[in-house]
Amino acid sequence: MPVEQIDRIKGLGYTESEARFLYVVAVHSGYFTLRQFCTFTHAARGKRSFIFARKLLQGGHASMCDYPGVGPVFHLFSRTVYGQMEKDNLRNRRRHSFEFIRTRLLLLDFILANQVLAYFETEQDKVSFFCETMGVSKYFLPAKVYGGRPGSQSTVRYFVDKFPLFIAPFLSGAPPVVTFSFVDSGFETASGFLTHLGAYQGLFRQLTSFRFLYIAAKDAYFQGAEERFRSLVKRPLESDISAEILRYFHVRKKWDNREYMVPVTEDFEFLNEARRRFHCNRFDSLYQAWRSGELLEPDLRVEFSQLRPERTVFFDTYLVRGHWSPFDLERKSGERCVKDADHHSVHRSVHPVGERKLLGA
């Protein structure tokens, strides 16, 4: 953490550890609980956390919403605090939805358990890394356009999901690799994950190697997430592109001929993604020639066989153990809320042993 910026936060009346915690919250989540503050400072709940909370509220630096039986959830929103870090334009300052808060609390648990990782903290950090260091055009970055006021120009923002993005080695002594992630707080649906992967497809194709980390509080989500990732990302990027094109042509032909009497989810997901990947006149012409019999499959394979990329794509999972959100609607009646327990995050993987990679740096 930048020493100068931490000192500025301390100038607002906070201790060293309090200032460092506020820096982490501001950059990564915007929301936190006192349990997470105690986890960061290695302190028990009590006078220390009470004094910290009082400073925040009396200083007008954070708001608090109390959830019965759980405790307060704080939102760090003060431009004064963010300004000390030269990050007063971060969207974490704004009010957010129920789902967003739930996700950010889980995300912060992950960050607190993995503070040694080299995170890209801001949008500009991420854009600079991929465009300047990796030589990737902005065109391929995940982006969202925000409309301005009447008469003003729209704004393009990159990496708006703000999920952890960092550099970490696979194993001790191995070269570092860029790691993307997705945080599933329990609200996410399969379509939400697919939409997220779709936004990153252009960037994934520009990289020769990367890892994707699926972060959740329940390992029940892992298998389905891995299957979707393998189908939509890993296999297409690591395989012979001619095989992918042929599969696309076959599935598209069946769809055009209305041969699907019973929906096949995997085929439909593949077809939607393939249409995005191969959306141009060239592929449409090849499809029509193949369908009419003018272009044979061996000829099609020869034409695209040289385009096989040399890529290595890894998928990992991370189980945030002990995370209990104040918004956990799925909690069974009779289960207790353990407020002051130590919560240790444990890496879990559901894929073949040969692909299990450690998270630690």
Region class of 69: left (phi > 0), else alpha (psi between -120 and 50), else beta: left
pLDDT in the model for residue 76 = 92
Q: Which of 286, 347, 300 is nearest to 110 (CA)?
A: 347
Rg value, the chain, Cα? 23
Max distance between CA atoms of the chain, in angstroms, equals 79
Instruction: Give the Cα separation of 341 and 336 in Å (integer).
Output: 12
pLDDT in the model for residue 10 = 92
Q: Which residue has the tokens 């989540």?
A: 29
Using alpha carbons, list the distances in angstroms from residue 84 to 13, 23, 40, 53, 108.
Answer: 13, 10, 21, 19, 21
pLDDT in the model for residue 306 = 56
Q: Which of 173, 273, 164 is nearest to 211 (CA)?
A: 164
Exposed e or buried b per residue across 275-311, where buried means at least 16 C-beta atoms within 10 angstroms of its C-beta: eebbeeeebeebbeebeeeebeeeebeeebeeeeeeb
pLDDT in the model for residue 180 = 96
Provide the angle, in degrees to the nearest 10, between the axes of the packed helices 265-277 and 190-204: 30
pLDDT in the model for residue 278 = 76
Q: Please list the pLDDT of the chain residue by residue as tens digits (361 residues).
A: 788 999 999 999 999 999 999 999 999 999 999 999 999 999 888 889 999 999 999 999 999 987 655 568 899 998 888 888 877 677 777 777 777 888 999 999 999 999 888 899 989 999 999 999 999 988 889 998 877 677 777 788 899 999 999 998 765 556 788 999 999 987 667 788 999 999 998 899 888 889 999 999 888 889 999 999 998 898 878 776 777 788 888 888 888 888 877 667 777 777 887 787 777 777 888 888 888 888 888 887 776 765 555 678 889 999 997 665 544 544 333 333 333 333 333 333 333 333 333 233 3
Running DSSP on this structure, what letter comes out for residue 120?
A: -
Instruction: Give the Cα separation of 313 and 321 in Å (integer).
Output: 26
Tokens of 308: 């096989």
Contacts of 179 (CB under 8 A, 6+ apart): 164, 165, 166, 167, 168, 210, 211, 212, 213
pTM of the model: 0.72
Strand partners, 182: 214
End-to-end CA distance of the chain: 17
